[in-house]
Amino acid sequence: MRIELEKRPDVSKLYAFVSPLLALVLTLAFGAIMFAMLGKDPVEALDAFFIEPLLEVWSLHELAIKAAPLILIAVGLAVCYRSNNWNIGAEGQFTIGAITGSYLPIVFYDWHSPLVLPLMLILGALGGALFAAIPALLKAHFNTNEILTSLMLVYIAQLFLDWLVRGAWRDPKGFNFPVSRDFTPEAVLPAIWEESGRAHWAFIFAIIAAIGVWFMLRYTLKGFEIVVLGQSERAGRFAGFSSKKMIWFSFLFSGALAGLAGIGEVSGSIGHLQPAISPGYGFTAIIVAFLGRLNPLGIIASGLVLALTYLGGEAAQLSLGLSDKVTRVFQGLLLFFVLSCDTLIYYKIRIVWSRLRGGAA
Amino acid sequence: MSIFEAILLTVITASTPLVIAALGELVTERAGVLNLGVEGMMIMGAVGAFAAAQLTGSAYIGIVGGIVSGALFSLLFAFLTLTLVANQVATGLALTILGLGASGMLGEAFVGAPGVRLLPIEIPVLSAIPYVGTVLFKQDLIFYLSILLVIAVNWFLFRSRTGLKIRAIGDNHASAHALGIDVIRTRYLAVMFGGACAGLAGAQLSLIYTPQWTENMSAGRGWIALALVVFASWRPWRLLAGGYLFGAVTILQLHAQAFGIGIPSQFLSMLPYAATVVVLIIISHNRRTTLINTPASLGKAFVPDR
């Protein structure tokens, strides 16, 4: 038995829409088998994982809280990946954004002003962009592989945060715990709708960013430039586009969004700095970007789906005693299925049973 | 044992997994396939080796478990990128994400369990050489294997017919296909060799380096191995040298931490990662030499025409 691919004359519009859904269904089916193997009732487990968290208002708020950083980061990554720049260090840019954004509320703890919050957000975005500038500089001017450098910088950012909260920025009244001082109320990102739950403004930023980037990709010259350079650098050069400038643009842009996500998370959800501020949002956002087919509007939907895997993981851990590692397995599987289903968009798949090359057909 | 010997011994232990994993990836990349999932295959190898050793009580079966886990896991990557021509970069990332998650889940039962340590084998006569004898010739099997593998891969790639075919595929898959070489089949094997090596490197981590199971115990070594391949410009002997350079940096920072010199431990822990970045800059800033050394078809999808 052999699998043969035949290139479609045109990209299949049908499968472009169906493929992410198919991937979801396959992941769920596979998940059910996995739950059964772990000795849990698959229906009950899937219900706890994917349905229960959607039935209560407070947990919908949690969904928005978890989706916000995922969407913000993934939208930036979509710009990178579309232009063929492989920034996989968003986790590091997220961390540095959280640090630079926290500078004001920690170092100038006693400065109370309505300016604090907007300045924090700007500093966070700047920090993320500057940190992403390192792999951009190295790729544009030293020809260095951006995948490896951006990833190495994640470890460096996390160690730097660890040093800060155990050293200079540790709360003097924190009983030696590695946490910073709690932010004052002016430095906390407000809730969107306080009466019903915790979801804060980072989610609004995420939606705005997604719509903005969708508009940019679809209706502006910059968007066209991104797509052209991503598909063929040579064609882009003939059109007068500079791939070097695109490296800078895509990295700074995605770094800024990741940094904004970082400070949004720290200010809105955590309220202080601590050694671990992210359950791998920067990496999960890569899955979000691909599940959304690198389309910002698709990313809103896929960000919510991936946020649900985090929530469902926590819920299933409590109600069924499932390991919290199941979440990461789900996320990994989902990316695999997304990538395999995407083949259907560009190719017809034929299973050939005969051993003859090309078959008798 | 003198301090010199002790340090050399730890450098070897830290370098061996890097050398083995990078060597596997070198062969994969020579065949034109970029597998960024080394970290994932390595951690699957680590958990597979640990589990096999736990269940059987034999560290040698543990080694086999590591190799098999790594190779099987790499098949997933091979199927997606070679049969379904999925994007290699994205699929490699997926392999790493899934590997870190799945190993965490599979290894949960083993957290805190005392591991089975792989014991050193003493080679008579040679191990009596002063200074280096005990360090080099009273080592565990995986260290000996790592050196043998470097020699074997070097011979295989540059002196054997199959090695020539692999390099031809990596440099121009369309021409290789036209010459009648089975590109897909060869690439499958090259990817699986990479997986087996990454699995063996993982086995070294959970049977020798720290004989126990902890989540994420590969700690970015798979990524450093990927950087090593670039550093070595796809040549096995340079890779061996690079692996030991990185191992030495890792150990150096550990010793510096132990001696408590004035630098915070976090900054010392950054050293291996920072060194990777610096080395990548030095190696790749010359566009022309990079272009000459890199397998020309690296990372490009291949669909045979009919």
Q: Residue A72 contacts by C-beta under 8 Å, 6 or more apart in sequence?
A: A202, A205, A206, A209, A257, A258, A260, A261, A264
Portion 266-295 of B in contact with A at CB < 8 A:
266-267, 269-270, 273-274, 276-277, 280-281, 284-287, 290
The amino acid present at A59, given as its one-letter code, is S
- Nearest chain B residue to A159 by CA distance is B266
- The phi and psi torsions of B229 (rounded to 5 degrees) equal -60, -45
Q: Which domains does chain B have, with CATH numbers?
A: 3-293 (1.10.3470)
β-sheet bridge partners, residue A350 = A4
β-sheet bridge partners, residue A2 = A352
Nearest to B100 among A328, A342, A349 (CB): A328
Nearest to A144 among B36, B85, B284 (CB): B284
The confidence score (pLDDT) of residue B20 equals 96
CA distance A327 to chain B (A): 8
From chain B, pick out residues whose CB is under 8 angstroms from the CB of A139.
Answer: none
Q: Is residue B230 less than 8 Å (CB to CB) from chain A? A: yes
Q: Where are the domains of chain A?
A: 57-319
Q: What is the pLDDT of residues A38-62, one digit of tens each?
A: 888 888 888 888 888 898 888 899 9
pTM score: 0.91
Portion 102-121 of B in contact with A at CB < 8 A:
102, 104-105, 108
* Contact call for B284 and A143, based on CB within 8 A: yes
Q: Is residue B227 less than 8 Å (CB to CB) from chain A? A: yes
**What are the residue ranges in chain A where pLDDT is below 50?**
358-361
The confidence score (pLDDT) of residue A357 equals 54
* Contact call for B285 and A143, based on CB within 8 A: yes
The amino acid present at A48, given as its one-letter code, is A
From chain A, pick out residues whose CB is under 8 angstroms from the CB of B279.
Answer: none
Give this complex's ipTM. 0.88
Say how many CB pairs under 8 Å bridge A and B: 139
The tens-digit pLDDT sequence of chain B (306 residues) is 677 788 888 899 999 999 999 999 999 999 999 999 999 999 999 999 999 999 998 889 999 999 999 999 999 999 999 998 898 988 998 999 999 999 998 988 888 888 788 888 888 878 778 777 777 877 888 999 999 999 999 999 999 999 999 999 999 998 999 898 999 999 999 999 999 999 999 999 999 888 889 888 888 899 999 999 998 989 999 999 999 999 998 888 888 877 767 788 889 889 889 988 998 898 888 878 878 888 988 888 888 775
Q: What is the pLDDT of residues A260-307, one digit of tens each?
A: 999 999 999 998 999 999 998 999 999 999 989 899 999 999 999 999
The SS3 of residue B291 is helix
At which residue do the structure tokens 């700074």 appear? A252
Which CATH fold topology does A57-319 show?
ABC transporter involved in vitamin B12 uptake, BtuC (1.10.3470)
Tokens found for residue B131: 């200074």
Q: Which helix (H) or strand (E) holds A317?
A: helix A296-320
Neighbouring C-beta atoms of residue B41, cutoff 10 Å: 36
* Contact call for B266 and A143, based on CB within 8 A: no
The confidence score (pLDDT) of residue A356 equals 57
CA distance B85 to chain A (A): 7
